[in-house]
Structure 1
């Protein structure tokens, strides 16, 4: 009987060690997947940091487009993480599903805000193009009324997208698939909103959007790339978010208006403005297509998720 008990204890001990080893292996794999996701996001920011040496001196359209291109990359990295740990949305806790749906809705709203700002810049360009045609038709006094610097369009609403503070907080010492999703959600939201703050400040020509949204992701940026958030903040506040191409357009407008006002030949100034307007039109149009593409992808994914959740409840 004693021998039987000893054998049972030995077997139970081996079984316990097996489960412990298996659990440790799973925890290590989950931790590795989460760290790989964070590393990918960090590398994206690092590229942005390297390009920011010139971009932050005078923020340009091309640089904020680089910022925007991070958004689908980060979203894709999160989707890959979900697949890598084999934890589909159907298994998530309700709070995490709600947080993701809120995030996707906020991202759609941000895309709409970006599109609205691009539309405003497009209309301003058309007004200047009209002024240029008046100059070419020798209607100089009328042209002067339209030769005005581009006026920034303020936002209709505040951009304060704060995630659920409870999501992502470690609830136990052992990492789980749910914990990985929650932590990744926090990182994704923080990074996306931080980048969008830079974008919106550049497009509307004021620092307010960045200052409102930096609290969502600034702490992550500084923890991975110390000084990047501070450098962005200093330059955006100092330059009030005005883009290089907008400033160049305004300078060309001022040059043409001055030439007309002093009675000098305006041919050279008009040609300069025409060249700037043509380049600006291509930038606005190209950026607009990228924004529309992301909006459609996010909307399609959100609708697919909602449809799937609806079918589960039936």
Structure 2
């Protein structure tokens, strides 16, 4: 796994697989080239939209929601591409299918881990709501309960999620399995493999950032070295460098989290905690009320951001799961695949 001091690692650790899957002399027709160029142009547009306008947007829950949306769209774009290519199931080698099924399982495991962490964050939100409720009264008993709730929140937010802790090894295995097996001498296969490569790069990047943000450590942060032969490579490198660099800067400054909304909550808690403990005396009722109000706003923003992200992660899980189901269904029927090798919708149909 890449560390801050490690050199960027290649997404394909054993060299460029297109040298193996695209035999010499295989050229793309103008039609296939147009299909590939359109796909990669769409992918690049998605990458551009994920480039934060400022470092303050790294890493916000809204950015993470947009990133997960981009993943869902890109995986569904593969489904559309396969429809355009009309690749029959007979062109799918057994090893290729096995690799896809293995990758899809890893993506499902990652989605489950992310969902469990978002659920854990929502549990923490309940503790913050209890704090705000107790702060509605000035009685010493209610302040004691508010302090107790904040203690619970601080312990909860600093604890580790075992499922997130396992994401690093899953990501390493996902990268290691990206050396795709050979495809029969097929120009269509070449187009599909190059498209899949681009989507995999985006997938690993996004999942790496999520795992890093949720784990509170850069140990899950991956730097991918993408060759400049791909039209979208410069845009991706710019995105990756900006996001990964900012994440490392934040952790090096001692922040407990790189999540903007969670950091805002923690800042309000640090400000309010000594006041309700009585460590810091304040006779300014208005000032105290503003501090409580600040915690209320940051808590609400955090809760809303988590709820939106939960929906997108669940949506990506369904994209991957339904694509896997579509592939298995078509394999059983022996029909032509019109599904998504990386995940598609349940309405994928067989094409004769």
Residue 136 of structure 1 aligns to a residue whose secondary structure is coil
Q: Aligned in 2, Cα 1:222/1:228: closer, same or farther, shift over 3 Å?
A: farther
Matches within 5 A, 1:51-200: 52-55=52-55, 58-89=58-89, 91-137=91-137, 138=139, 139-148=142-151, 149=154, 150-151=157-158, 153-154=160-161, 155-157=164-166, 158=168, 159-160=171-172, 161-162=174-175, 164=177, 166-167=179-180, 176-200=187-211
Uncovered stretches (5+) of structure 1, i.e. residues with no partner: 1-22
Partner of residue 219 from structure 2, selected from 179, 200, 208: 208
Change in 2 beyond 3 A, CA 1:200/1:218 = farther
1:239 CA displacement: 1.3
Asked whether the 8 Å contact 1:200–1:209 carries over to 2, the reply is yes
- Distance in 2 (CA, whole Å) between partners of 1:58 and 1:186 is 25
Structure-2 change in CA distance of 1:307 and 1:58 (3 Å): closer
Deviation string 1:187-245 (CA, Å, 9 cap, x unpaired) is: 2212211122122323333322223xx44879877544443322222111111361111
Q: Hey, what's the Cα distance between the residues in 2 that align with 1:165 and 1:270?
A: 49
**Retained in 1: the 8 A contact 2:85–2:188?**
yes
Q: Which has the higher contact order (CA 8 A, sep 6+)?
A: 2
Equivalent position of 2:261 in the other structure: 245
Q: Are 1:99 and 1:164, in contact at CA under 8 Å, matched by a contact in 2?
A: yes
Aligned length in residues: 285
**C-alpha distance in structure 2 between counterparts of 1:256 and 1:288, whole Å:** 29
Aligned to 1:311: 333
How much has 1:89 moved relative to structure 2?
4.4
Residues 114, 291 of structure 1: 8 Å contact kept: yes
Corresponding residue for residue 46 of structure 1: 48
Please state how far the C-alpha of 1:58 moved relative to its aligned partner: 4.2
TM-score, normalised to structure 1's length? 0.79
Q: CA deviation at 1:102?
A: 2.4
Q: Give the Cα separation in 1 of the matches to 2:281 and 2:313.
A: 43
Secondary structure of the residue aligned to 2:242 is helix
TM-score by length of 2: 0.71
Q: Which structure has more helix as a fraction of its residues? A: 1
Change (3 A) 1:76 1:112: same
In structure 1, distance between residues paired with 2:59 and 2:178: 32
Q: Which shifted more, 257-266 or 276-285?
A: 257-266
Task: Give the superposed CA RMSD.
Answer: 3.0
Q: Where in structure 2 are there 5+ consecutive unaligned residues?
A: 1-24, 252-256, 336-352
Residues 1:86 and 1:147: Cα distance change in structure 2 (over 3 Å): same
